Amino acid sequence: MISAGEFRNGVTFDMDGQVMQVIEFQHVKPGKGAAFVRTKMKNIITGAVTETSFNPNDKFENAYVERKDMEYLYNDDNLYYFMDQETYDQVPIDVSKLPDGFKFVKENMVCRILSYKGAIFGIELPNFVELEVTETDPGFKGDTATNVTKPAILETGAEVKVPLFINPGDRIKIDTGTGEYVERVKG
């Protein structure tokens, strides 16, 4: 059991059968009346974010979210298969549970699979991935104008905006959270 007074960022708890994660919290002690905990929380299954105030003595069951590293193998229509690196079991995950940034993940990359009571509800991607540019207009030596970009197709088929000096065959680092170019990878 956890009380609302013990809330911290990242804490997961069960509230009325829903698994909630604390995003922000604030202990408030007004001049008059009882103290309370103002909480911004996210339903980790649906992704819905709500704000609620709790009495610091309100009690909730802890919700243990299992995070397991698994290797992405392949996809077959709407199912994406991941392999447990310890047991070698393959787990199919529906395309609806994949985050937007999954378009930057290629086969054999390791992702963190999130589950609650055995039910998979989400995937945490690596923060950054290194991918090869397969198609883009050729760059020109000395073309270093700031903030000028061009489209590039990566080895996963995803399209990103890159600086003018990037050429086909270059390896670049991508932020999977924003989907933006970070830097060219040397070597």
pLDDT at 146: 67
Identify the structural domains of the chain with CATH numbers, from first to last: 2-62 (2.30.30.30), 66-124 (2.40.50.140), 128-184 (2.40.50.140)
Given a contact cutoff of 8 angstroms between Cβ atoms, the answer to whether 109 and 85 are in contact is: no
Alpha carbon distances (Å) from 109 to 32, 57, 81, 119, 129: 55, 44, 12, 22, 9
Q: How far is Cα of residue 110 from the mean position of the Cα atoms in its chain?
A: 13
Give the pLDDT confidence score for residue 148 in this predicted structure: 81
**Intervals of the chain under pLDDT 70:** 139-146, 187
Q: What is the mean pLDDT of the chain?
A: 88
Q: Are strands 49-54 and 79-84 parallel, antiparallel or unpaired?
A: unpaired
Task: Give the pLDDT confidence score for residue 69 in this predicted structure.
Answer: 92
List, for residues 36-63, the tens digit of each pLDDT value: 999 999 888 777 899 999 999 999 999 8
Q: How far apart are CA 104 and CA 154, in angstroms?
A: 8
C-alpha 125/C-alpha 114 separation (Å) is 11
Q: Is the dihedral of CA 79, 115, 101, 173 positive or negative?
A: negative
pTM for the full model? Answer: 0.71
